[in-house]
Amino acid sequence: MHHIDLSSVLRETVSCDLYSNLVTRPTGAAVRVAIERMLGETDGRALTVIDLSQVSMIDFSCADEVIAKLVMRYAAADAPREVYFVFKGIGDDHWIAVESVLECHGLTVVLKTDDGFALAGPVTETETRAWEAVRLLGRTHAIAVAHETACDPAETERTLDGLWRRRVLVKLGGDYAAVGPYDG
């Protein structure tokens, strides 16, 4: 799994002592482009941790550029590669901006917290239950998830496929694995 420290990317991208915070749209765009360049240097499926733990502050515009646009690009039907993200080090101070942009664009992401992995962003109860079941079961098939959640298998398969398209589940042949616990 790749690990990308956003504070390092920030320093390397804009190379100026002033830039200790992830603020302004041009800064966010520059950081996103740098991340996309890094992702372009590897082949195949990529699981990537985006680490904000050394970032003191991120504003709405920068969160929109770095997080929302990054997730949207790699969750799109014409994504350049199969990339999955886990966001780490998102504290209460970051969450204000991150939550806002996830809500604004209807995006769902995987967070790594002290308690493990969790979904964040607008997500239904059915989707949460399905994702949690995959997380607990490990690499698994839709039938097992349907059994675990007491849901209709065909409906469960559609839910899991939707979560895969949003890049919070990895699809491995006929199986699914939760991004985060499954690290490639």
- Return residues touching another protein (CB under 8 A): 16, 18-21, 23-27, 56-57, 59-61, 64-65, 68-69, 92-93, 96-97, 100-101, 104-105
Q: Give me Rg for the CA atoms of the chain.
A: 16
Region of residue 167 (left: phi > 0; alpha: psi -120 to 50; beta: else): left
Q: In angstroms, what is the minimal distance from the CB of 95 to another protein? A: 10
Beta strand 175-178 with 140-141 is antiparallel
The least CB distance from residue 7 to another protein, in Å, is: 14
Minimum CB distance to another protein smaller for 111 or for 169: 111
Instruction: Give 10 or 146: the residue with its C-beta nearer to another protein.
Output: 10
Strands (E), the chain: 2-5, 46-51, 83-88, 109-113, 116-120, 140-141, 169-172, 175-178
CB of 68 to another protein, least distance (A): 6
CB-nearer residue toward another protein: 61 or 159: 61
Is the Cβ of residue 78 or residue 92 nearer to another protein in the bound state? 92
Q: How far is the CB of 20 from another protein (least distance, A)?
A: 6
**Residues 184, 142: Cα–Cα separation, whole Å:** 20
| Crossing angle of the two packed helices 125-137 and 153-165, in degrees rounded to 10 | 90
* Smallest distance from another protein to CB 96, Å: 6
Q: What pairs with residue 47 in β-bridges?
A: 84
Residue whose CB is less far from another protein, 106 or 184: 106
